Amino acid sequence: MSRNQPQDDRRDTSKTIIVTGFGKASAKLGQTKVRLGVSTEAITAAEALARNVESMNRVMEALKKSLPDAKVETSSFDLHPKSSPPRGELVGFQVFHTLVVPINDIGEVGEIVDKAVRAGANIVNVSTFTSEDDSLRESRNLAMERALLDARTKAEGVAKVLGVKIIGILSALEEVYPYGGGHAYRMPAPAFAAPMGTQIMPPTESEVRVTVRVTFAID
């Protein structure tokens, strides 16, 4: 470069302020997945399995009536021997068979659990409640805006105290955390007494939290 040639008018990016901004927004809950299963025991493996199949068929029939369009899938299946301590003598066999049942209307969870238990289910687990896609997307965008605004406000406060001026943004990194919709509700159902009017009260909303780390250039 010639001595007389003017230098490029580039901003000095060696001076920065780095802040973290936080934002959150609520999203409507839309679905849950319930695990329903049957545990049976008997002296022989064949008898334990036969009892399990009989009970599970009744449970599946009840689910088909309540949720005809639901995609019910096997979550786990296990047949294993049972032994008695301390000698470890074989005393029988136990079979576990559990299903994953998606329920779109979370208001129906208690009723469906009741019907499944009446039909023979003795394993019940109500797992994570998830948010509707559209609501979750809108909530993430809103949480992001709030996080960026929070970061800008913090950076301007720092700049004012230091007596400097913000001249640009060098980088912005964000992380999205679904929060508040991941509560697990475990309901150990009695093997012989079916509950009546089971009340499962999930949170009405889940919360999305966004964290942004923004690097501001200063003069």
Report pLDDT for 120.
94
Q: Has residue 5 been placed in a domain?
A: no
Sign of CA dihedral 104, 176, 151, 137: negative
Q: Has residue 6 been placed in a domain?
A: no
Q: Has residue 9 been placed in a domain?
A: no
Q: Is the pLDDT of residue 187 over 50?
A: no
pLDDT category at 176 given cuts 50, 70, 90 is low
Check which CATH number belongs to the domain holding 21 and give it. 3.30.70.2970
Instruction: Indicate the SS3 state at residue 47.
Output: helix
Q: Using one digit for the tens of pLDDT, what is the confidence trace for 86-140?
A: 888 899 999 999 999 988 877 788 889 999 999 999 999 886 666 666 667 888 8
Let me know: does 174 contact 140? Beta carbons within 8 Å: no
Q: Has residue 187 been placed in a domain?
A: yes
Query: Distance (Å, rounded) from C-alpha 57 to C-alpha 52?
Result: 8
Q: Has residue 10 been placed in a domain?
A: no
pLDDT category at 51 given cuts 50, 70, 90 is very high
Query: Distance (Å, rounded) from C-alpha 118 to C-alpha 80?
Result: 26
Q: Which domain holds residue 75?
A: 16-218
Tell me the three-class secondary structure of 84-152, residue by residue: ECCCCEEEEEEEEEEEEEEECCHHHHHHHHHHHHHHCCCEEEEEEEEECHHHHHHHHHHHHHHHHHHHH
pLDDT category at 203 given cuts 50, 70, 90 is low
Sign of CA dihedral 22, 23, 26, 27: negative
Q: Has residue 92 been placed in a domain?
A: yes
Give the chain's mean pLDDT: 81
Q: Has residue 3 been placed in a domain?
A: no
Average of per-residue pLDDT across 153-180: 86
Instruction: Indicate the SS3 state at residue 2.
Output: coil
Report pLDDT for 204.
57
| Domains contained in the chain, number | 1
Q: Is the pLDDT of residue 79 over 90?
A: yes
Query: Distance (Å, rounded) from C-alpha 112 to C-alpha 132?
Result: 21
pLDDT category at 200 given cuts 50, 70, 90 is low
Average of per-residue pLDDT across 148-166: 95
Q: Has residue 212 been placed in a domain?
A: yes
